Every structure is written in C-alpha cells, then in structure tokens.
Structure 1
Amino acid sequence: MRYAIVTETYPPEVNGVALTVQGLEHGLRARGHAVDVARPRQRAERVGASHELLTPGLPIPRYPGLRFGLPVTGRLIRHWRTARPDAVYVATEGPLGWSALRAARQLGIPAATGFHTRFDEYMRDYGVGFLEGPALAWMRRFHNTGNATLVPTRELAGFLRDRRFENVVQLSRAVDTTQFHPGRRDQDIRTRWGATPDSLVVVYVGRIAPEKNLDLAVHAFRAVQAQRPDARFVWVGSGPAQARLQAANPDFIFAGVQRGDALARHFASGDLFLFPSHSETFGNVTLEAMASGVATVAFDYGAAREHLHHGVHGAAVARGDDAQFIREAVRIATEGATRDAMAVAARRAVEGLRPEQVASDFDDILQGLRTGGRNASTAMA
C-alpha cells in the first residue's frame, strides 16, 4: 500500500503532534508500506528526503521554530497524480491541511484527519475567549471534510460526536517503554541540577507556553518546596513563556529542549512529574513519565483519564480543581514510600502499550477507508 501523510509540524520540531506523526509514519513503514510525507520546509532546509514533498511555510506567531504551510492544492494534485496514495492522513488543520483535503477530494482519494490540538480552548488561554465557539465550528468543518477523524481517547470521541463531528474513530496511543525506562535515571544529571540522591526533583516536560497552565505548576512547586526545601524544579522544553518564568523564578532549572535518549534520562532522573495543562487532546508526556517510573500529578482527562489511576500511579485531579492539584503534589512529594510505590506501579501500568499495535490499528483504519469503511468501522469507539 502507498499512504500519504500531510503535516505542518514534524521533527526536528519537538512537540506532541510532530512526534506522534513521525511515530505513525515509522509504524506504517515497519509494516512494509510506502509512505510519502508532505510538510513545510523548515528553516535552513533546502531539500527533503526522497519520500518528502517540502512546501512553502511561514513562522507561527509567538511560537519560534514552528511553521505553518501555505496553500498548495494544485501542487499536491500534480504530485499525487504521479504517485497516487491509497489513502491520505492529514494531521493538522492549517492551510496545508486544507489543501490536502481539497486535493484528495478532487482525486477521489479517501482521507482521514487527526484531531491533535484543542485550538478552541487555546482561545481562552490567549485572551480571546469569545473566539472559542467559532474556532470549534471551524475545526468541525475541517474534520467533517474528511472521511474519518482520528482521536486518541474515548472521552474526546464522545465530546466531538456530541458537537456534530462525523465519523469519529478512536486510535489509541502508546509509548516506547524501551526508550522511556526507570533504568535511564542519571545521577550525573541530577548533580548538575544540584540534587543529591535523596533530594526531590520535580519535573515539567513540554512547551513552555500560556496554554499549558504553567502558573499552577509554579504554585504547586512552591507549596512542595515549603515542605521539602531541598526540592528542585526542572523544566524541559522551550516556548514563549520561558523568559517570564525564568525572570520570576531564578531558582528554577531550565534544561532546554531534549530529544531521544537525553529526554528519557531527564524524565527518569525526576521524582515527581507535574502536568498542569487542561487543553490537551491526549498528553503523550503523561505516558512517558509513567514509563520512566515517575509519579505523576495531572488533571483527569486525556492520557490521565485513560491510564493514570488516582492514588495508584500518582494523582488524577478533577479538571479545574487547582487547589486539589496542589494538595496532591504536596502529598506525593512528602510521602516517600507512597511516591516510590506509585513509580513502580506507573511503570507496570504502561508496559503493555505497544507502538506496533497502534501502527497496526492505524493501518487497518486507512485500509478500511480505501475499501469503503469495512475495517475502519471496527475501530469506532
């Protein structure tokens, strides 16, 4: 089979969408399929790989290093006439994504879309809450143009169906438990952070941006620090809110963007992972923390709703209950035996999540679209 993936973010960009899309691409290749990728040309990039179609793009305001693709419907039509895919997966809702849906429709190629980002909730985080409804309507129009909308959780599938999104299909997520592993714990890294083997290291991993609700992480850590003065707070990632946070909190450690094994070592070298975001469609970092053997505090939706059992692997807090989030962070931080037991249980909980199974399910969905939905229907949540 030949598949095409269209995305406006892709490694070396580091974010959940880019890494998820790359994982899906690699999974299809491992199953013996040919996969073409259409994406914006990244900064200083002249040519892509032989299977890549690079398109024009522009920087995303307030997100240095990320770009969105410009419309290229005609170019995609010409390209796919030459190398026609059996099905197309459109991962992002930008101008390039719209072009892909138009091209696929004109050529009669089935297309699935991926619902990766709650742009409607971002409107509140950036001070334009009045656009939340129009943003959701725009997203509904985009996704309903395709033949199926892929989502990572049952909760999100139900939410979208209730809001008139059509043909919603659940495609679960997994985590590489070989890469993310408690054995990656690195005392040399902890020493650079000023932490002894007995110190408490609190970690945040992700974009350092307003939509991540980061002020709550700061408040939670300060409450932890009042009980554990030896605690260190390590931030892994980058983003537009970093300068403000760094200036206001000179004792915080900003480790920058980490990838691959380095990211795995940073995760496993922490003792408590705080994930205060309330605008994720899933939150891959929750699974990565659990696989790394790190007790986690997150809100009870997305990956936490699917996999993080409250009181067993950490704390899954009712969304919006900031006071409880802080209390749970303090409790787990100050109860060493409880925290250690949660770390072991968290690792065990995700050991059965296999990326190979996700690739197989993704393959079945795309083949089902090509054959008129027979296989895709079996994946409906």
Structure 2
Amino acid sequence: MVVVIHDRFARRIIENMGVDAERVRVVRNWSHIQDDEDETVDVLHTRARLGWSPDETIVLHAGNMGVKQGLHLALDAARLAEAQSPEVRFVFLGNGSQRRALMEQSSGLTSVSFLETLPEAEFTAALRAADVLLVHELPGVSEMSVPSKLTSYFHAGRPVVAATDPDGITADEIRAAEGGEIVESGDAQGLLRAIVRVGTDKRYGDALGERGQSFRRKVLGEANAIDTFEKILDSAKRGR
C-alpha cells in the first residue's frame, strides 16, 4: 500500500505513476502542537514582550526561510507597506538558509523584523498574537509539498494570507478550510492589499481564523491520522 499526505498527491501517483488506486491511501499530517483549546493567551502581554505595538498590523511568517519560500518577494510587499500602509509590519520567525540574505535585503526597512526560533509555548503565543499569518511560496513549487506550517497556523485560530499558485495544493488547502485569502505569488501589491483587508477587519479576520481552527480539529487532528494508520496497517496485515 502507498500512503500520501494529500488528495492531490494521491491523484498524481495514480495518474502519472500508474499506481493502482486501490492501493493508495491518504493520511493527513497533523500539527506538532498539542490540543489546548482551553488555554488562553494574553495577546497584549505577548505583543508587548515581542515588541509589537497594539496599533501595528503584525504579519507573521513562522518557520523555515529557505529557497522554496521565496521570501525575497515578500520583502517587495514590505517595501510597498513603508509608503502605503505604515501600520503593517512583517515579522519573520525562525531560521533557514536564506535568513541572512533576507536580513541584508531588508536593511533599512522599518516594516520588517526578525525573531529567533521560540520554545513551543512562546511559539504558539506568538502565532495567536499576530494579526495575519503568512504563507509564501516561490512561483513554480506549488505541487511540491503541503506547507506543514498550515496545521500550526490553523491551530492558532488566526487568518492566513498565502502568496502561492492559486491552482496549487496550498491554495486548495486554504480554500478547503475557508481560513484565509490567496494571492498569486510575486504580486506584491495584491499581497499587501490582502494583508490590509484581513488584518484590519477584525470581524472578518476572526471568522477566517475560526474556520481554519475548525478545519484543523476535524481534518488535521492527530487522533484521526493515527486511527487511519491503524486501519491501513490492519488491512495490509490481513492481505486486503
């Protein structure tokens, strides 16, 4: 049997690689963050600790800063924000092969800041304290993977804005969750517009965040995945 993490991957290996559809199963990835739905985060305290003003619209990209993410294109939106939307701040949390280059390219931009990797509890608090959670993908890599950060983003209950291929897997996932907005990767002006729209309309942003959180519980939960794996292994053991 063959297990993949998304329906789009299942179609690819059936149609392009000739794998028998009866042998293919989908088991979704789940978040490394444990369910803690009753845990509350003091947003104002967290923002103050991280140096974020209550008046800023914080756009947080959390996770790897590699080539695949194409974050140099996100800096184009940050440059536009300097002139058009000075209340918007792009925050890049984590590490990766492109971090140093991004820091150099953003030198002098007041709309950009960087954070080192945080412990899990602080990481979750940072996600929940942001106004917008950013997914960014380099044009042309839309069929390569499902961003693992989406499970953590949806868990946080905050709205997502994704700069990606509108026909790609990431866009499919966000549409399925109804948890955010999608912009063509490389469209800096469109990205900034979406960020401002989602980040400044609190009712709209909260609704997107709640729908993403519900999707994570129903589709991306750890218990569901483990139960599915158990059934797959039991079926394989029985020779079906």
Query: TM-score scaled by structure 2?
Result: 0.78
Larger radius of gyration: 1
Q: CA RMSD in A?
A: 2.8
Conserved 8 A contact 1:180-1:288: no
Q: CA deviation at 1:270?
A: 0.8
Q: Quote the residue 2:44 is aligned against.
A: 187
Structure 2 Cα separation of the partners of residues 340 and 225 of structure 1: 25
Q: 1:224 to 1:272 in 2, by over 3 A?
A: farther
Q: 1:291 to 1:222 in 2, by over 3 A?
A: farther
1:322 aligns with 2:187: yes
Q: CA deviation at 1:158?
A: 0.9
Q: 1:185 to 1:156 in 2, by over 3 A?
A: farther
| CA displacement 1:309-365 (0-9 Å, x = unmatched) | 58x5221346x5735445423432343442233223332333324211100111222
1:368 aligns with 2:232: no
Structure 2 Cα separation of the partners of residues 177 and 307 of structure 1: 21
1:284 aligns with 2:137: no
Q: Mean Cα displacement is larger for which, 222-231 or 202-211?
A: 222-231
Structure 2 Cα separation of the partners of residues 334 and 197 of structure 1: 12
Q: 1:223 to 1:340 in 2, by over 3 A?
A: farther
Conserved 8 A contact 1:224-1:231: yes
Q: 159, 162, 166: which is aligned to 2:12?
A: 159
Q: 1:348 to 1:169 in 2, by over 3 A?
A: closer
SS of residue paired to 2:75: helix
Q: Quote the residue 2:161 is aligned against.
A: 297
Q: 63, 69, 85: which is aligned to 1:206?
A: 63
- What is the letter of the counterpart of residue 28 of structure 2? S
Q: Quote the residue 2:215 is aligned against.
A: 349
Q: Quote the residue 2:78 is aligned against.
A: 221
| CA displacement 1:267-326 (0-9 Å, x = unmatched) | 11111111112455211211221221211012344354135458x5221346x5735445
Q: CA deviation at 1:212?
A: 1.2
Percent pairwise identity = 21
Q: Quote the residue 2:106 is aligned against.
A: 249
Conserved 8 A contact 1:208-1:214: yes
Structure 2 Cα separation of the partners of residues 182 and 261 of structure 1: 11
Q: 1:313 to 1:172 in 2, by over 3 A?
A: same
Q: 1:307 to 1:230 in 2, by over 3 A?
A: closer
Q: 252, 265, 273: which is aligned to 2:125?
A: 265
SS of residue paired to 2:124: helix
SS of residue paired to 2:45: helix
Q: Quote the residue 2:3 is aligned against.
A: 150
SS of residue paired to 2:78: helix
| CA displacement 1:26-49 (0-9 Å, x = unmatched) | xxxxxxxxxxxxxxxxxxxxxxxx
Conserved 8 A contact 1:181-1:268: no
Larger RCO of the pair (alpha carbons < 8 Å, separation 6+): 2
Structure 2 Cα separation of the partners of residues 321 and 243 of structure 1: 21
Matched positions, count: 224
Structure 2 Cα separation of the partners of residues 287 and 304 of structure 1: 14
1:306 aligns with 2:173: yes
1:335 aligns with 2:201: yes
Conserved 8 A contact 1:228-1:334: no
Unaligned runs of 5+ in 2: none
- What is the letter of the counterpart of residue 174 of structure 1? W
